[in-house]
Structure 1
Amino acid sequence: MHKFGDVILGAIFEMNFFTAFSELYFTSEPNDPICHGFDILGFRQAQTMAFAVDEINRNSKLLPNISLGYSLYDSCSDLGISFRAALSMTSGRGEPFQLNESCYGYPPVLAIVGDSSSTRSIAISSIVSLYRLPMVSYFSTCSCLSDRMQFPSFFRTIPSDAFQVRAMLQILRRFGWTWIGLLISDDDYGRHAAHSFQSDLAQSGGGCLAYLEVLPWEKNVAALQRIVGIMKKSTSRVVIVFAPESNMLNLMEEVVKQNVTGLQWMASEAWTAAKVLHTPSYMPFLAGTLGIAIRRGEIPGLRNFLLTIRPETIGSQDSPLVKRFWENVFQWSGPFKGQSCANLQRIAPWQLLYYLGRVNFTTHFGDQVSFDENGDALPIYDVMNWMWHPDGSTEVKNMGEVKELASKVDHLILDEDKIFWNFESKKPPKSVCSEMCPPGTRMARKKGEPVCCFDCIPCSEGKVSNGTDSTECISCPDDFWSSPQHDHCVPKSMEFLSYLETLGISLTTASLSGALLCTVVIGVFTYHRTTPVVRANNSELSFLILLSLKLCFLCSLLFIGQPRLWTCKLRHAAFGISFVLCVSCILVKTMDPQ
């Protein structure tokens, strides 16, 4: 599709999704591939661009005395065809392209809109960046395209997968889902999404993956059976899928065959709005799906244009963007060398690249449109819910939004009470590998399993844990011990034998009586120390025995009454010394002098 104008914009849309190649006989030049399989969405997107160009041309305030044209190419969902289309637009659609003597020339198109596939955008942008030709994608979400070193002229109006992953993590945290299954498509889109998901999940510490499987592009029955078998055996109840709707169609056929129910599906923007999946055979399994969708807004006049394939007037629109752009273009002071401005009759792609980086305006439905330093649009997604009504009808309903605030913090707004859950309880499911460890226990990882799979081990004596999912138990202070539940420390209770108790009085009386008796005997021995009986009895050892016995009786008093620091230190030493002295004297006294 072509339209002539003073300034030509190129675009690549997927208006067919199958490609057939002619047989090669090696005797003649091969024919061009044949595209078939009409894609209504791609055709609608191409017509939308045509509508936008016509509306800009009709609005005298946007580009006065300048007309826009376009060259729209079909990618046929094929990398080779998309790549050839991009080369055709940059070199002149096959016509001879001659440079002037100074070897300077301008490509036929000023910028390219597209592509819808991340893989094709990576390939195309790497080439058109050499021309400093701007490329603006409406559907390529791979986070790798934010690398300004590799893709210096790439922009997109859809948030990258990096933000989509963060948006999904917000939903996972909201419902406490930590045990997640992840399925990805076998392409750049799926692989980079998986890398972002694993990286952000590890940094947040909010969960782990039950399985990471790659969905085959073609309908590989054996691979799909193996993947669905893993899903059926897994204890994970939440499955996130980063894949186009064609992959989901193949997957759902096997899910229906094996009757895998009880799963909470989460859809990436690639298949959130896939009407082809809203069938009576799939909805018993997919009802209640939560999806991340591209921000939607109604474009005035577009519906009538698509129905009639004729442009309808929507009226002129004035915005700060238009004023700033034309003030810079038509005033004497410009942003380029020598304060020059771009000549709209001969504007260069690198000059348009300068203005694209400074786009900043607000749409009529309140969303701000601008590009950051990586060429990404301000991230915002709608959260969609697949509702299945009793009459069998289906509806994809907006339940909230996720957007990035000025503080670079992701903000989730979700109307949880209106979400349709495809479970008997009509409540969100539980998806955890191991239940939370209650206070008084600690987590012990299971060998060879992910970090969110663990056992709960009770804390040992003298140690406590006062929170859920504690990784270790904390020792109590010296004057405390653990409670029976091991969830907090309690002061050690002081129990002692009082002098006022019956047992205390009895022991005190016996101790004093024994000490008094020893004192009396010592007095008698002292009085009769010169008598033959005492002298023959080895009086020195007898006195030591009586003294040590007296001390042993008195040491018992140290174990009665409220403990003090000096009594606790003295009781064991005093009794041990006294008792050893007594026994030693007795042994010496009984030794045979021979």
Structure 2
Amino acid sequence: MEEIEVRWLGDGTNTVSQRIFLAEQSLLWFRLEFYQQFQAIRFAVEEINKSPDLLPNITLGFYIYDSCAVLQRELVGTLWMLTGLDREIPNYCCQEKPALTAVIGHSMSTYSILMAQILGLYKFPQISYFSTSSLLSEKTQFPSFFRTVPSDDFQSRGLAQMVLHFKWKWVGLIAYNHDYGTEAIEVIKRKVMKEGACVAYTVYISSNLLYQNLHTIVKMIKESSANVIIAFSIDIYLTPLLNEMLKQNVTGKTFVASEAWSISDILAVEKYSSLLAGTIGFAFYSSTIPGFQEFLNSINVYNTPGIYWTQKLWEEAFGCTFINQNNLTDTLNNFKKQCTGEENLNSVQNNYNDVSRLRASYNIYTAVYVIAKALHDLSHCQATDGPLVQDHFSDRGHFEPWQLLEYFKNVRVKLKNSREVFFDKDGNPPAVYDIVNWQLGLDRTSKQVKVGSYDTLNSSGVIFSINKKLMWGPTANQEIPISVCSQTCPVGFKKAIIEGEPVCCYNCVPCAQGEISSQSDSNECWKCPWDMWPNSKRERCFPKPNEFLSYEDYLGTTLAAISTLSSLVPISVFKLFINYKCTPIVRANNYSMSCILLVSLSLCFLCALAFIGYPQPEMCLLRQAAFGLIFTLCVSCILAKTIIVVFAFMATKPGSSLKKWTTPQVPYMIITICTFTQLILCVIWLSFSPPFPQYNIEAKPGIIVVECNENSPFAFWCMLGYLGFLASVSFTVAFLARRLPDNFNEAKLITFSMLAFLSVWVYFIPASLSSQGKYTVAMEIFAILTSSWALLLCIFFPKCFIILFRPAKNSRENFMRKQAGTT
């Protein structure tokens, strides 16, 4: 029966013979959990050797080498394993059978890097159960390195996701100034910043207290607004920092722990509870190993390899001491009771036989099974990328390390907990972490409670999950700590980056007019659609109200009523003129022309109704043209009346050539020509650039003004200008003829009417330009009504007054008397 030897290289932090130097006291401290890890390899090897399915008829063995956490000893031990001699001779092997198949170790990344560089040259498979540096994933430098723990790259992604999960935007970073800390902290910095958070500071701590100013570092941590601190370090190197934080009374900080100290018993004491209670972090995946606790409790001093360390276990577990035959005086002076070796480990419960959540021991156990499975596959010459010859292995274990290395790359091991272990192209296993929360117990010490997991192979697809309530701080508060550089910007505001500061430090500024932000901490505000407007908080868009001068509006109703009632007044005057058409005052002022003028004035009042109501396309097309034509007809009648008065007076002079212009057809010709000219202007306007309804969103913020767009302002002002020109001519002629000696001379009345008419429309121009929305329309209606009333009152009120209240003046006798007096 062949014996294949697996040599397991111990390390400075996780082996039985580890010595730990504490900053507070110099002593050799026997760590029970490290001795448990030694027994884990024994248990796995014995379990495999008893298995009929895995490596049948092949026995595994192992050596353990302690480097005492000294880098030089690590180099010596590695060469010793390769050469098989007391003297380390590179490139020379004097090793007797059985062959060295693989190396388990180191736990510290720096030491593993040194080992991997040497073992990689010889293609010897190396499996670490605790080295997490992402540098070791570089296969060009470390081709034979594998590990049963995830790379720090996975942990960094998980921690970044944790920061995102708890909405921490402003974090501090603390790293052990070594390969483990410096490399990991750079990765976590990139990942955290990629997730949108910012780093307030980065602090590196060293094992040498002479080269770091802890007072200054802690003062910076205390004064920083970052309330969350991510720490990548080994527990013993955090103690000086924590002591200084206690000294400066630092409070309100929450630690996020890396796997190297997330389950530390050194820090989970009452002394640090005010600082570390509420800590949350990643820990290596924990599991149980069936039968392992019984195996641990079954050992005794006399049947276990490494009797010296078994005695140390006994002394630590039972508080006794073994007699030192070489120094009886020291033994007699020791007040502890004497160990007999017959004590039962079942009677104690400590870190050695606590198997409730195995982590490092489980990883070592897994590493042994990975080696065994790779050897098993090699022994059966299963297919691989590098074809092997079966005789090479069957010949008493003669095979080359690179041949076994090929099987390591493709190995798949299904453990008793149903989890499958394999390696990716970088030699990393599937990333699985426990999320632990430090919660205070009744004894004021911190208990690491599993509250969730980070599992990249979770069948449900949920990689990061929290499934238990978290306790934060020494008061066991369940509210998630807040760690931000700037407070959250509420809805309706956006972030304005402060120049020279990280993106997480910003001011909150309200969204501009017409913009919203529906989420807190928005980087930008968004414009509402053209037909919508923000609410008062600027968080939602609501449809803009439509504004137009409607009949339901109080202003619209009032103007419509005035317009309608006003249109009845010219009709009443017209009826009055019909009744008194034979009277001198009516006949003297051209009865027919007066009737046309009264009808056109009535239409002027009514055309104001075309400007009230929802702007329909037809109304927009016709209302300005109708207004222009009706008022042109009205002013043309007044102009004709004025010119006839002048012609009639001038024609009475002997030899006047104007007598032919005093015929009845002349006023109608004037009216026709003037009105037709305006008609041509309107037809051209409506043909080439017709008005149309539009939604004006710029006139009033938050309101859609439904209005008629004149389309061609030039055409509109041409129409209005022509009307003004006719009114100016009428005013000029009337003004010149105001003193003509004629009975019932209308020149004075026309002068006042045209003066009022022109004043109204001159005022309308600036008023319309300064008003907005429906008030622009209201101003035009007001101008129409006012100018119409000005014409009606100035021209017809005196006539009506005489007809109704001074009938004596409206007689032929009075008319002839005045004519005689005039002549």
Same-fold call, TM > 0.5?
Answer: yes
Is the counterpart of residue 282 in structure 1 residue 272 in structure 2? yes
**Equivalence for 2:721:** 580
For the pair 1:91 / 2:114, whether they are aligned, the reply is no
Query: What one-letter code is carried by the residue in structure 1 that aligns with 2:63?
Result: S
Contact 1:129–1:153, Cα closer than 8 Å, also in 2? yes
1:13–1:72 Cα contact (<8 Å) kept: no
Matches within 5 A, 1:450-461: 450-461=502-513
Among 373, 379, 383, the residue aligned to 1:329: 379
**How far off its partner does 1:424 sit?**
6.4
Mapped contact 2:378–2:404 kept (Cα < 8 A):
no
Question: Which range moves more in the overlay, 35-44 or 207-216?
Answer: 35-44
1-structure distance, mates of 2:189, 2:574:
85
Which of residues 196, 201, 205 is equivalent to 1:215?
Answer: 205
What does residue range 514-525 of structure 1 map to in structure 2 within 5 Å?
Answer: none
Deviation at 1:232, TM superposition (A): 1.1
Aligned to 2:109: 118
Aligned residue number for residue 667 of structure 2:
none
Residue by residue over 1:425-481, the C-alpha shift from the partner in whole angstroms, topping out at 9 and shown as x without a partner, is 443222233333333222222222222222222222222222332222222222222
**By how many angstroms is 1:259 displaced?**
0.9
Aligned-partner SS, 2:435: strand
Alpha-carbon distance, 1:209 to partner: 2.2
Q: Does 1:133 align with 2:274?
A: no
Q: How far does residue 99 in structure 1 lie from its aligned partner after superposition?
A: 6.2
Which consecutive residues of structure 1, in runs of 5 or more, have no partner in the other structure?
A: 20-34, 521-530, 540-544
1:153 Cα deviation after fit: 0.7
Q: 1:219 to 1:548 in 2, by over 3 A?
A: farther
3-state DSSP of counterpart to 1:303:
helix
Q: Does 2:297 align with 1:304? A: yes
Q: Do structure 1's residue 77 and structure 2's residue 69 form an aligned pair?
A: yes
The 8 Å contact of residues 83 and 92 in structure 2, kept in 1 or not, is answered as: no
Match in the other structure for 1:508? 563
Inter-CA distance 399–533: structure 2 relative to 1 (3 Å threshold): closer
Distance 2:192 2:111 in 1: 28
CA 1:64–1:244 in 2, change beyond 3 Å: closer, same or farther? same
CA deviation vs aligned residue, 1:170-194 (integer Å, no higher than 9, x gap): 4334333332222111122122212
Note closer, same or farther for the CA distance 1:496–1:399 as it changes in structure 2 (3 Å cut). closer
* 1:544-555 equivalent positions in 2, closer than 5 A: none
Deviation, 1:405, is: 1.9
1:254 counterpart SS class: helix
1:229 to partner: Cα distance: 1.5
Q: Report which stretch shifted further, 277-286 or 331-340.
A: 331-340
Deviations 1:361-392 (A, max 9, x none): 23223332222221111211112222222333
What displacement does 1:133 show? Answer: 1.0
- TM normalised by structure 1 equals 0.79
- What secondary structure does 1:357 align onto? helix
Further displaced range: 166-175 or 224-233: 166-175
Q: Is the 8 A contact 1:549 1:578 kept in 2?
A: no
Partner of 1:68: 60
Partner residue in 2 for 1:564: 616
Q: CA deviation at 1:81?
A: 2.5
Greater shift in the superposed pair: 141-150 or 169-178: 169-178
Q: Decide which moves more: 88-97 or 247-256.
A: 88-97
| 1:195 maps to which of 174, 182, 186 | 186
Matched pairs, number: 555
Q: Secondary structure at the match of 1:478?
A: coil
Q: Following superposition of structure 1 onto structure 2, how do residues 237-252 of structure 1 map, counting pairs within 5 Å? A: 237-252=227-242
Taking a change above 3 Å as real, the CA distance of residues 413 and 494 of structure 1, as seen in their structure-2 partners, is closer
CA distance in 1, matches of 2:189, 2:486: 20
Cα distance in 1 for residues equivalent to 2:377 and 2:407:
12
In structure 2, how many angstroms separate the alpha carbons of the residues matched to 1:219 and 1:519? 113
What secondary structure sits across from 2:140 in the alignment?
coil
Q: Following superposition of structure 1 onto structure 2, how do residues 337-356 of structure 1 map, counting pairs within 5 Å?
A: 337=387, 339-340=389-390, 342-343=392-393, 344-356=396-408
Partner of 1:369: 421
Q: Is the 8 A contact 1:480 1:490 kept in 2?
A: yes
Instruction: Please give the alpha-carbon distance, in whole angstroms, between the structure 1 residues aligned to 2:191 and 2:382.
Output: 49
Pair 1:182-2:237 in alignment: no
Change (3 A) 1:115 1:216: same
Q: Is the 8 A contact 1:116 1:140 kept in 2?
A: yes
Q: Deviations over 1:390-420 (max 9, x none)?
A: 3334422222322112679562343332646
Counterpart amino acid of residue 379 in structure 2 = V
Tell me the amino acid that sits aligned with residue 84 of structure 2.
G
2:286 matches 1:236: no
Deviations 1:58-99 (A, max 9, x none): 556544444433333223223333223222322334266786
- Does residue 401 of structure 2 align to residue 260 of structure 1? no
Asked if structure 1 preserves the Cα contact closer than 8 Å seen for 2:4 and 2:101, the reply is no
Q: Distance in 2 between matches of 1:128 and 1:155?
A: 12
- The percentage of aligned residue pairs carrying the same residue is 33
The 3-state SS of whatever aligns with 2:275 is: helix
> How far apart are 1:56 and its partner, in Å?
3.9
Q: 1:488 to 1:338 in 2, by over 3 A?
A: closer
CA shift in 2, pair 1:43/1:283, >3 Å? same
Gaps of 5+ in 2: 306-365, 576-586, 621-690, 693-707, 734-823
- 2: CA distance, partners of 1:518 / 1:80: 124
2:136 pairs with 136, 139, 145, which one? Answer: 145
State how 1:151-162 maps to structure 2 within 5 Å: 151-162=142-153
Deviation string, structure 1 residues 19-51 (Cα, Å, up to 9, x no partner): 9xxxxxxxxxxxxxxx99456355553454345
Q: CA deviation at 1:137?
A: 0.5
Residues 136 and 325 (structure 1), Cα distance of their counterparts in 2 relative to 1, 3 Å cut:
closer
Q: How does 1:455-494 map to 2 (within 5 A)?
A: 455-494=507-546
Distance 1:552 1:143, change over 3 A: farther
In the TM superposition, residue 164 of structure 1 has moved relative to its aligned partner by: 1.4
- Summarize deviations over 1:265-292 as a string: whole Å, max 9, x none: 1111111122111232211211121121
- Which structure is larger by alpha-carbon Rg, 1 or 2? 2
Distance in 2, matches of 1:324 and 1:76, equals 30
Maintained 8 Å contact 2:439/2:476:
no
Residue 357 of structure 1 pairs with residue 357 of structure 2: no
- Structure 2 CA distance for partners of 1:18 and 1:87, relative to 1, 3 Å: farther
Give the Cα–Cα distance (whole angstroms) in 1 for the partners of residues 573 and 191 of structure 2: 82
Q: Relative to 1, partners in 2 of residues 1:176 and 1:492: Cα closer, same or farther, differing over 3 Å?
A: same
Contact 2:137–2:426 under 8 Å retained in 1: yes
Secondary structure in 1 aligned to 2:436?
A: strand
CA distance in 2, matches of 1:177, 1:324: 44
Higher mean alpha-carbon deviation, 125-134 vs 482-491, is at 482-491
Could you tell me how far 1:115 is from its partner in structure 2? 1.0
The residue type paired with residue 181 of structure 1 is G
d(CA) in 2 for partners of 1:147 and 1:407?
Answer: 28
- Structure having the larger proportion of residues in helix: 2
For the 8 Å contact 2:159–2:188, the answer to whether it is kept is no
Report how far residue 303 of structure 1 moved: 1.9
> 1:463 touches 1:476 (CA, 8 Å); kept in 2?
yes
Whole-angstrom distance in 1 between the partners of 2:201 and 2:90: 53
Shift of 1:119: 1.6
Q: 1:515 to 1:486 in 2, by over 3 A?
A: farther
What is the distance in 1 between the residues matched to 2:123 and 2:606? 102
